């Protein structure tokens, strides 16, 4: 406002001078003198304003760079603090300590948590969440004694950890190796190759990886690939803010974990994800999902569309004697190996077994309608031998086709 007032005052003075010259001698040159004066003042003011804006923008940029550097430094504190806190908590939970040792350990943990709260406050995160996971499926305030124990945890499950920090990666592997077979890498592109090779049951990835590929791009790539879309992904996010969380979830991640985290809660989170995956696998195997809205814990419907396509192709070709798994792979534009791995991962069944199940489900539907004989139903669903049809039908439904048609099914 001060600059604008000065400009108006100078302009007014210039106009008065011009008028004075006009009254005094009436020469036309006076108009030119006044106009040039106004033009000069205007140009001078514009130059001043432009210079001022440039200086302000430069100062703002420097301020933003300093702030970002400060936030990055604080952000980098979270992983080392996590590497201090998690081992202390494991000692507290697993080791028998003297009263003095227990007191000292609790003091250390309290001070680490104080540092975490300070770090989170400095980067505009909510206090009191720094030392726990913010998870969809686990209450962050639940005492460790009330957290459900791991169910069916076994080293048969393959877990891939993608973490750039070597110490954190080592700690995760050491802790999770008690329950799972663990592979690690610190590179996004290398992780893509490892996923295809090891076919992990679950992936843990940091959002910040190497320059060639970050966790966001990695997750998006895996979730949009038909061969890997079914694998649950847990993203490690350093900043507890909506922008970071939404950014992670929009990639298709199944769960997110805020650094630093409690290892016991992380283990329960992984168990819950694997349990959800097993539930979904049973639903796919029993053909219980009829639309994508029924897909539980799916970030996208790519897997449902795949299963639905398999079902439709089998149903449309039930009466075709030359229809087999190779033809189905061709229709889906997939190699036999890729198709086998995908069906096995989603349903825990071989492709031929799953196709036979689809035919049996259709046969059961036709039997309920009671419009066709058992022999006709067998032929309509691709079973050319009625005797074989009766055998496989009874084996699956625990009742003969004739009794099933009468409503005597044991299920």
159 three-class SS: strand
* More confidently predicted of 246 and 383: 383
pLDDT tens digits, residue range 97-138?
777 776 776 777 666 666 666 666 655 543 333 333 333 433
| Stretch 208-215: mean pLDDT | 76
First to last CA, the chain: 83
Nearest alpha-carbon partner for 169 in 86, 93, 101: 86
Contact between 292 and 168 (Cβ < 8 Å): no
Residue position matching structure tokens 């985290």: 261
| Stretch 319-325: mean pLDDT | 84
| Stretch 211-225: mean pLDDT | 85
| Stretch 84-93: mean pLDDT | 70
Crossing angle for the helix pair 336-347 and 302-316, to the nearest 10 degrees: 110
181 strand-pairing partners: 158
> From CA 70, how far away is CA 64, in angstroms rounded?
10
Is the bond preceding 260 in cis, omega lying within 30 degrees of 0?
yes
Residue 148 scores a pLDDT above 50 = no
pLDDT tens digits, residue range 190-202?
899 999 888 999 9
* More confidently predicted of 21 and 187: 187
Structure tokens at 218: 């990695």
Q: CB pairs under 8 A, 24+ apart, for 359-366? A: 359/314, 359/318, 359/383, 360/392, 360/393, 360/396, 360/397, 361/287, 362/315, 362/318, 363/389, 363/393, 363/401, 364/393, 364/397, 364/404
* More confidently predicted of 325 and 91: 325
Contact between 261 and 140 (Cβ < 8 Å): no
Per cent of the chain over pLDDT 90 is: 19
Give the pLDDT confidence score for residue 250 in this predicted structure: 75
> From CA 93, how far away is CA 304, in angstroms rounded?
41
Residue position matching structure tokens 């419907």: 301
Task: Report residue 77's pLDDT band, with 50, 70 and 90 as the boundaries.
Answer: low
Rounded to the nearest angstrom, the gap between the alpha carbon of residue 184 and the centroid of all alpha carbons in its chain is 19
pLDDT tens digits, residue range 279-294?
888 888 888 766 655 5
The dihedral region occupied by 44, where left means phi > 0, alpha psi between -120 and 50, and beta the remainder, is alpha
Q: Kindly provide the residue ranges of all beta strands, DSSP E only, lying in 188-264, ordered along the sequence.
A: 202-206, 233-237, 255-258
pTM: 0.62
């Amino acid at each position: 406002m001060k600059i604008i007032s000065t400009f108006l005052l100078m302009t007014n003075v210039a106009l008065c001078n011009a008028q004075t010259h006009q009254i005094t001698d009436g020469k036309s040159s006076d108009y030119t003198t006044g106009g040039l004066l106004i033009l000069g003042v205007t140009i001078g003011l514009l130059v001043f304003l432009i210079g001022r804006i440039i200086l302000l923008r430069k100062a703002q940029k420097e301020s933003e760079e300093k702030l970002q550097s400060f936030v990055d430094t604080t952000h980098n504190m979270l992983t080392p603090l996590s590497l201090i806190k998690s081992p202390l908590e494991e000692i507290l939970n697993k080791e028998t300590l003297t009263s003095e040792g227990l007191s000292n350990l609790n003091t250390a943990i309290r001070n680490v948590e104080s540092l975490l709260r300070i770090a989170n406050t400095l980067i505009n995160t909510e206090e009191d969440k720094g030392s726990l996971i913010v998870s969809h499926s686990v209450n962050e305030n639940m005492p460790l004694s009330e957290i459900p124990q791991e169910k069916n945890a076994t080293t048969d499950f393959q877990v891939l950890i993608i973490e750039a920090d070597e110490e954190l990666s080592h700690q995760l592997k050491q802790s999770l190796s008690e329950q799972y077979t663990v592979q690690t890498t610190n590179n996004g592109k290398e992780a893509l190759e490892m996923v295809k090779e090891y076919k992990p049951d679950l992936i843990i990835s940091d959002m910040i990886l190497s320059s060639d590929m970050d966790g966001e791009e990695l997750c998006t790539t895996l979730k949009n690939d038909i061969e890997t879309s079914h694998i649950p992904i847990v993203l490690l996010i350093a900043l507890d803010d909506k922008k970071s969380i939404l950014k992670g979830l929009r990639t298709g991640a199944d769960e997110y974990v805020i650094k630093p985290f409690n290892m016991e809660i992380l283990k329960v989170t992984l168990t819950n994800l694997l349990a959800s995956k097993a539930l979904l696998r049973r639903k796919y195997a029993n053909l219980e999902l009829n639309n994508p809205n029924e897909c539980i814990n799916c970030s996208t419907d790519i897997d449902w569309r795949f299963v639905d396509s398999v079902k439709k192709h089998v149903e449309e070709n039930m009466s075709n004697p030359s229809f087999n798994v190779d033809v189905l792979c061709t229709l889906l534009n997939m190699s036999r190996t890729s198709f086998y791995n995908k069906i096995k991962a989603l349903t825990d069944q071989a492709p031929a077994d799953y196709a036979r199940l689809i035919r049996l489900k259709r046969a059961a539907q036709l039997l309920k309608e009671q419009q066709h004989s058992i022999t006709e139903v067998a032929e309509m669903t691709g079973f050319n031998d009625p005797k074989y049809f009766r055998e496989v039908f009874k084996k699956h439904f625990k009742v003969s086709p004739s009794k099933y048609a009468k409503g005597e099914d044991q299920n």
